[in-house]
Amino acid sequence: MLYKARNFRHLLGMKGFSDAMLENHLKLYEGYVTQANRMIESLSTLLKEERTGTPEYAELKRRLGWEYNGMRLHELYFENLSRRPQPLPPSERLARQMKEDFGSVEAWERDFRSTGALRGIGWAIQTYEPVGHRLFNVWVDEHNVGHFAGATPLLVMDVFEHAYMLDYGLQRAEYIEAFFQAIDWNVVLDRFAAALSRTQ
């Protein structure tokens, strides 16, 4: 079964994100879906033709993680944004987990913002790691480098230039501020609840 690009156009008009920037970002996401599907189809064909020992097969296998993660991380990113953002209630279990793992919600936020401000391109991702039962703010380089195996992404922030340059130029901190003003914490809480249910 091939993947279908999801419609995130309901985000147009979101405060802090111009429609032009969002339209460009959505087109980029759709490209990841298209490329992931092409690679999956090509790999399937090569397998049927018993050409798994070829350079083409090897290169597609290596490249698929980039395209698939580019697709999936963008979906998680767009999902946790909203034109009507929802705050994180301090009584929620996720807020309590942030306090336990970082000392306070404010300390967690400082760490997440600092992660997103690192030099380079990539993603800042709040993950829940089920073995240690704790949260990490993770820097993921180029989609497919830096993921914590088995950890569940809870909050995803794109910090590739295409996510902010059109509106903010080199002022990444201003983009991060806009991102925080657009978080739908209800989506993040649902992801956290699902991650906890899988570990109990």
Asked whether residue 163 is domain-assigned, the answer is yes
List the CATH number of the domain containing 24.
Answer: 1.10.287
pLDDT of residue 186: 96
pLDDT of residue 138: 97
Helices 93-102, 185-199: axis angle to 10 degrees equals: 80
177-to-58, 70, 100, 172, 174 alpha-carbon distances in Å: 41, 23, 24, 9, 5
Task: Give the chain's end-to-end CA distance (angstroms, integer).
Answer: 31
Asked whether residue 110 is domain-assigned, the answer is yes
Q: How many domains does the chain have?
A: 2
> Is the predicted pLDDT of residue 97 greater than 90, yes or no?
yes
83-to-3, 24, 139, 183 alpha-carbon distances in Å: 26, 18, 26, 9
pTM of the model: 0.94
Average pLDDT, the chain: 96
Q: What is the pLDDT of residues 8-64, one digit of tens each?
A: 999 999 999 999 999 999 999 999 999 999 999 999 999 999 999 999 999 999 999
> Is the predicted pLDDT of residue 182 greater than 80, yes or no?
yes
pLDDT of residue 79: 98
Distance between CA atoms of 147 and 126, rounded to whole angstroms?
11
Asked whether residue 31 is domain-assigned, the answer is yes
Same domain, residue pair 116 and 158: yes
Average pLDDT of the residues in 167-191:
97
Same domain, residue pair 109 and 188: yes
- Domain termination residue (choose one: 79, 107, 122): 79
pLDDT-derived band at 142, boundaries 50, 70, 90: confident
For the chain, the three-class secondary structure string (H helix, E strand, C coil) is: CCCCCCCCHHHCCCCCCCHHHHHHHHHHHHHHHHHHHHHHHHHHHHHHCCCCCCHHHHHHHHHHHHHHHHHHHHHHHHHCECCCCECCCCCCHHHHHHHHHHCCHHHHHHHHHHHHCCCCCEEEEEEEECCCCEEEEEEEECCCECCCCCCEEEEEEECCHHHCHHHHCCCHHHHHHHHHHCEEHHHHHHHHHHHHHHHC
Which pair of structure tokens corresponds to residue 42?
């090509």
Same domain, residue pair 53 and 127: no
Same domain, residue pair 136 and 193: yes
Asked whether residue 125 is domain-assigned, the answer is yes
Same domain, residue pair 61 and 134: no
Name the residue range of residue 48's domain.
17-79
pLDDT of residue 104: 97
pLDDT of residue 193: 96
158 burial type by CB count under 10 A (0-12 exposed, 13-18 middle, 19+ buried): buried
List the CATH number of the domain containing 156.
Answer: 3.55.40.20
